Structure 1
């Protein structure tokens, strides 16, 4: 979290971090209890990343990129599906066969989403925005990740202004829960 640079560099660094979590998950044997810790860390990163994109990236895509509205809508819908999978994973033990099926779906969905963002959305945004605007968006995304929720909230609003109002409160509650439970400290 908080890699620096413009919004594209920031979010691309997040994508590489998520891919590292996927490698760690795949390296652990099926049923290994450490998979829960890795999944918790991955979930924290994915949720913060998604919330920050929904707060700042997608509104900028709508505003600056020709045809950006439908593109942003598609990305937000993909986030919603990933968030539902993450929520389902919260209630499944690592030695349950559903755990591995859900992890595979998560990896497949996120990998495709990242590919689309990096090959289509980011280049469109880079063409449409000044370097100053991209840096400003990077700063906004970094600030948003600091206060964003760390747990999936599939029914929470995913577009401004409601998400900008509610996300920090949900984030505070999530971080308190994480602190008390020790989640995300691996």
Structure 2
């Protein structure tokens, strides 16, 4: 979270971090309690990433990219699907048979979304936006991730201005809950 560079570099780095966490989940046997810890870490990263994209990336896509409204709407729909899966996953322990099924669904959904962004959306945005605008968006995305929620909120607004108004408050509450519960951390 918070790597530097333009918006595309920032988001691609996030994608690689999420893929690394997916690999950690896949490397462990079914039922291993650490799978839950990594799933919580994935959820935290994905929620922050998604909120930042919805606040800044997709409005820029709507503004600068031909057909941007349809592209942004499709990407937000992908986020909604992943968020519903993450919400269901939140209620499962690693030993729950549903846990593995939900993890597989989340990985498939997110990997498809990442491939679409990196192969289609990002090249279009890079071609349509001046480098300075991409750098400014990178700064905004990094700031948004710091304030963003860390838990899925499927009923929360996903478009400006409502999402920009509500996300920091939800983010503060989520980070407090995470700190108190030890969510996303290995327990000895």
Same fold (TM over 0.5): yes
Q: Distance in 1 between matches of 2:147 and 2:40?
A: 17
CA distance in 2, matches of 1:103, 1:177: 23
Deviations 1:32-65 (A, max 9, x none): 0111111111110000000000000000000000
Superposed displacement of residue 95, structure 1: 1.1
User: TM-score, structure 1 length as denominator?
Assistant: 0.99
Q: How many residues align?
A: 186
Distance in 2 (CA, whole Å) between partners of 1:90 and 1:114 is 22
Once the two structures are TM-superposed, the CA of residue 159 in structure 1 deviates from its matched residue by 0.3
User: What TM-score do you get using the length of structure 2 for normalisation?
Assistant: 0.98
Which sections of structure 2, spanning at least 5 residues, go unmatched? none
Q: Distance in 2 between matches of 1:17 and 1:175?
A: 20
Which residue is 2:52 aligned to? 52
Looking at structure 2, the residues matched to 100 and 132 of structure 1 have their Cα atoms a distance apart, in angstroms, of 43
Stretches of structure 1 lacking an aligned partner (at least 5 in a row) = none
**More displaced, 87-96 or 54-63?**
87-96
Q: Residue in 2 aligned with 1:106?
A: 106
Provide, for residues 49-88 of structure 1, a one-character-per-residue CA deviation record: whole Å limited to 9, x for no partner: 0000000000000000000000000000000000000000
- Paired residue for 1:170? 170
> Does 1:75 pair with 2:97?
no
Report deviation, 1:185.
Answer: 3.3
Question: What is the CA RMSD across the aligned residues, in angstroms?
Answer: 0.6
Structure 1 distance, partners of 2:112, 2:167, is 25
Counterpart CA distance in 1 for 2:11 and 2:185 is: 22
- CA distance in 1 between partners of 2:91 and 2:8 (Å): 33
Alpha-carbon offset, residue 184 of structure 1: 2.6
Q: Per-residue CA shift, 1:78-105, capped at 9, x if unaligned?
A: 0000000000001112112111011000
1:152 corresponds to 2:152: yes
* Residue 141 (structure 1) aligns with: 141
Is 1:37 the counterpart of 2:37? The answer is: yes
Distance (Å, rounded) in 2 between the aligned partners of 1:180 and 1:110: 28
- Matched residue SS, 1:174: helix
In 1, the alpha carbon distance for the partners of 2:178 and 2:99 equals: 21
Structure 1 Cα separation of the partners of residues 42 and 33 of structure 2: 15
